[in-house]
Amino acid sequence: MNMSRLSVPEAAARLGVSPARVRQRIADGSLVAEKIGGRWLVDLSVSQVGQRRGRPVKVDVVWEAISLADQASRHQGAAAVFSEALFSAFSHQDDAIESSLSSRRRALQRLTEAARAARMGDDESEAVASLLAWLGNRAERRLYRVADRDFRPLLEDARLIPSGVSHPRSGMQDPRVVEGYVAADDLDGLVDDHWLDPIGVDQKPNVILHVAPARPNEVSALMLAADLAEQGGPREMRRAHELVAEALA
């Protein structure tokens, strides 16, 4: 058997997520897999983060939505803020803006629907789940191994901003894992300086990097929710939905 093709449980162990999350990523097209003899074989050698099926997503629009959610969280009534921005997007006719109006409208619609669900106490709604899946486009997820003695220097590197299970607000801190955001331009230097190794077939990652167009200045509740949702476990998903409610309600 090709060593790059793994069963669902093996792929889950290598990626550091649950088998259910692997099956979800097979379904949405972000993992390459083939069904043979009634079971899925996942090919991680093609890409750890593949292209999702459906309409392509503009990364800048995702980050614009995250910024808008941060802005709204500082005011009462997030849904009202999103509704106002949505109306502005529909009425704005400036062709010079970088993000297409249709992409921006769809993003704001997602936020509006999720905010409405959160306000009604329905943080397990399909609208929230859809928003979390869409937020997966914010960054490329890279997995590595690092020696235990190098944990602290990596966490303290200014090029990395801790997030996910390395952020106290997640409520799920794991001292055995370093997770954070890094700018795409800083990735190679960070990997080289801290001797980060790609994970082997039988290894679990202890470094999770979200490679974004630019290093964010801070990690918001919505970003943490997206980080935890990518773990795919029931506890992580439950906390991800709670964080969406905190950000949007």
Q: Is residue 243 part of a domain?
A: no
Q: Is residue 33 part of a domain?
A: yes
- Average the pLDDT over 76-92 and give the result: 65
29-44 per-position pLDDT tens digit:
778 888 888 888 888 7
The pLDDT-based confidence of 122 (bands split at 50, 70, 90) is: low
Q: Is residue 108 part of a domain?
A: yes
- Name the E strands within the chain: 5-7, 33-36, 39-43, 140-145, 161-162, 178-183, 197-198, 207-212
- Average the pLDDT over 42-62 and give the result: 65
Q: Which residues on adjacent β-strands are paired with residue 141?
A: 210
Q: Is residue 75 part of a domain?
A: yes
The pLDDT-based confidence of 89 (bands split at 50, 70, 90) is: low
pLDDT at 48: 45
Q: Are 223 and 97 in contact (CB under 8 A)?
A: no
- Average the pLDDT over 60-79 and give the result: 79
Note whether 12 and 36 are same-domain residues. yes
Q: Is residue 163 part of a domain?
A: yes
Which range of 12-21, 196-205, 212-221, 234-243 scores highest in mean pLDDT? It is 212-221
Residue 206: phi and psi, rounded to 5, are -120, 10
224 pLDDT more than 90:
yes
Average pLDDT, the chain: 82
Q: Is residue 73 part of a domain?
A: yes
The answer to whether the predicted template modeling score (pTM) of the entire model surpasses 0.85 is no
97 pLDDT more than 90:
no
Residue 80: phi and psi, rounded to 5, are -65, -40
pLDDT at 51: 47
For the stretch 118-146, what's the b/e string if a residue is b when 16 or more beta carbons lie within 10 angstroms of its beta carbon? bbeeebebebbbebbbbbbbbbebbbbeb
Note whether 119 and 171 are same-domain residues. no
pLDDT at 31: 80
Burial class (CB in 10 A: 0-12, 13-18, 19+), 106: middle
71 pLDDT more than 50:
yes
